Structure 1
Amino acid sequence: MTASIIGPNTITRVRRTLNHAIRDENYYMAHQLYKSLYSRFVSLNDKDSAIRTLHEGIDYLLSKHQNNTATDLSQVFAKCLSAQRFIPSDDIFDYVKDIFKKFGPSLSTERESMLNIVIQWTIEFCPEFPHGHPSLHKNIGYVYWSESNYSSAQYHYLRSSDGLGFAAMLVELHRTRGFKHEVDLFIAQVVLQGLCVRNKIIAQSTFQSYTKLHPAINDEPPFILPLLNFLCFLLKILDSGKLKTYIVLCEQYQSSLIRDPSYTEYLDKIGQLFFNVKAIERRPRHSQHGFLGNLLSSLLSDCDHEGEPSPSSSRPMNVEPLD
């Protein structure tokens, strides 16, 4: 059917039939008519009405517990974003957020399937965001937070640019599920993971917001907790790319870094991404070098190969001013 044949009268007739199906609670017919109405708007090149119709249909079918037909429309919705050449925007991200939230945790597989398609669409149109658009991840992170699914929320916030929201979630998570002495561990993991996914913005902004929002951290740098000082210094030296300074920093705060075994892999990755360090040689956990020993040995080796002086382990180097 050509666009010249499809006009306002056709749209009106389909809408009238749809309203009758809704009145009669004929959910199968309503599902088919929503798809038909969407196709007609596409033929008229009215993409905004097309996407709004799909959102309306998903919302209606979910409200009537018609999960299978709602899932089908959500797949049409997700795939049409690329097929119809939609440009990523906050309006569409709001639609995705609303649909994702209304599916709820009980339909996690269905909504994740839709989300994966949407993320790939944002990567297609915004290749500068290889993990997906930050605003989309912000919206999904917030939904997971509202469901108290902190693990999934953290995954998406790490790929967003909403440091303030991420920090507020972390403060809530620590105060409700963490121990008092772990206040610095919660933010350390996030900063290091953020850097490992090349999201320096989220690492920096979340650290700054967390240290201001958390009631147990009521001071400015230098902090009472050594691990917080390590993170503060680390974030300041990233742009310098100076391997010597990175080595000294890891050496000086080694006693704080051994509190979490996962930090070694994070620091190894950060060294590769920001300081041109080769991946460290993996050795058994009982290696005589001890915790972080392999990492520091690798850093020192790379430093020697680059012709930079190797800092003495018995006499620490002076770190250059970081201000």
Structure 2
Amino acid sequence: MPSATDLYRTVRLIRRFEERAIDLVRAGHIVGGIHPYLGQEAVAAGVCAALRPDDIVTGTHRGHGHVLAKGADPAAVLAELCGRTTGLNRGRGGSMHAADFRVGVYGANAIVGAAAAIVTGAVWALRRSGGDQVGVTFFGDGAVNEGMLLEALNLAALWRVPVVFVCENNGYATTMPVAGAVAGTITGRAEAFGIPAEVVDGQDAEAVHRAARAAVARARAGDGPTLLECRTYRFDVHHTFEYRVRLRYRPPEEEAAGRARDPVAIQGDRIDAAGRDTVDAEVERVLDAAVGYALAGPEPDPADALDHLYASGLRPRPGGP
């Protein structure tokens, strides 16, 4: 079990990273905006604390928290968001496709539900090679009706693939409430394939960790996949574009109730004030350095735009096929 301080450090790092990233969006340094993870920090923190460094993770378009919780360098992540060559993926992945194989992050994915298929195949291949790694895929409630996710659940159940499926149910698929999009239940999707499923308090990092630790142990022992439905709440907009259009799809009283259970405050209350202040100051130092690193990095050279498209090193022919 990670210490209360360690879990607080992770949720605080993710929170402040996202707030700094939003500042950089508004300043024009992050082009195209981001999908903020504010309010959902406990899910990434609790799940990733149950993993080994060589376990693998795939995430979503709202994936900064997953990448950071798994151990990626915040400076390199922020540089990636800013499109700099010093970023995790030389500025080519951006906010929605960040990957870091060194810490087991096989990529965020902007295609809803696709990351589940990727991690299922990847961890199956690792097991075939003799490894005992576990895979985790994060996805939102909007993915539970997508064929790619359902196919991954089916295959993982058939072949007892060691995957933990983590649904971050924040109540909305963009602006569509879960009740208007999901027939039956989210856990029922997994149960239909014979996969154990559990509803978890997604605002409590320790509750998430306990459930994830049990699911990871089950997977590593060869007993197959598990689905965790982590009920959480997105504090901010679906995408920073909403700062301009100001969509009104969540009642103010609902937002207030959601914000009342802040995962940073919940975990912070488990450590003493001095310890919390120490962690907060440490996080600020890390992110001050990360912002400086990101903005100092060079922007990509357009002449290199066609590099790194193929593993073989081949370049596409000018003008197409």
Scaled to the shorter chain, the TM-score interval is under 0.3
Q: Which has the higher contact order (CA 8 A, sep 6+)?
A: 2
Q: Which has the larger radius of gyration?
A: 1
TM-score (norm 1): 0.22
